[in-house]
Amino acid sequence: MEPVETVIVEQTHVACEGSGGALGHPRVFLNMEGKGYVDCPYCGRHFVLKPGAKVAHGH
């Protein structure tokens, strides 16, 4: 089994589609507000908020 991919991001709201194409999964929108990280429920990809990233508030 391959290790879970970690993706460093600069926003608290991210979208994941897995590997894309036929190997992907439905696009899901994830929110990591208050935690600084979130895992995709489909593929397990681990999204981490970049240290020092400015968190946008609003919609």
Hey, where are the domains in the chain?
A: 6-49
Residue with tokens 């190997």: 23
How confident is the model at residue 54, as a pLDDT?
74
Q: Are 46 and 7 in contact (CB under 8 A)?
A: yes
- pLDDT tens over the chain, length 59 residues: 567 899 999 999 999 998 766 778 999 999 998 899 999 999 999 999 999 887 766 55
Class at the top of the CATH hierarchy for domain 6-49: mainly beta
What are the φ and ψ backbone dihedral angles of 31, each rounded to 5 degrees? -125, 125
How confident is the model at residue 2, as a pLDDT?
66
- Please give the single-letter amino acid code of residue 44: G
pTM for the whole structure: 0.81
Q: Where do the H-state alpha helices sit in 10-51?
A: none
How confident is the model at residue 58, as a pLDDT?
57
